[in-house]
Amino acid sequence: MFVVTLIQRAATLPQLDELLASLNEMNPSVPFEKTYKDEIQGAFTQPSTVLDAISKAARYNGFWIGVGVGELKIPRLAGALGAVSLAECEGDALDYSRMASEKAQSGSPARAVVVRASNDYGADSLTGLLRLLYRVVAARTETENRVLDLIIPGVRGQQRAIGRALGITSQAVSKTLTRSYWHEEYAARTAMLALFEALEA
DSSP 42-111: EEES-HHHHHHHHHHHHHHT-EEEEEEES--BPPHHHHHHT---GGG-BSHHHHHHHHHHHHHT-TTTT-
What span, in angstroms and rounded, lies between the C-alpha atoms of 12 and 150? 31
CATH entry, 2-119, from 1.10.3470, 2.60.310, 3.30.70, 1.10.287: 3.30.70
**Three-state SS at 154:** coil
Walking along the chain (201 residues) 10 residues at a time, the average pLDDT comes out as: 92 77 94 92 96 95 94 76 79 96 81 94 96 95 95 86 94 96 94 95 76
Give pTM, 2 decimals: 0.90
User: pLDDT value at position 80?
Assistant: 56
Query: Domain map of the chain by residue range?
Result: 2-119
What span, in angstroms and rounded, lies between the C-alpha atoms of 64 and 13? 14
User: pLDDT value at position 53?
Assistant: 97
User: pLDDT value at position 14?
Assistant: 65
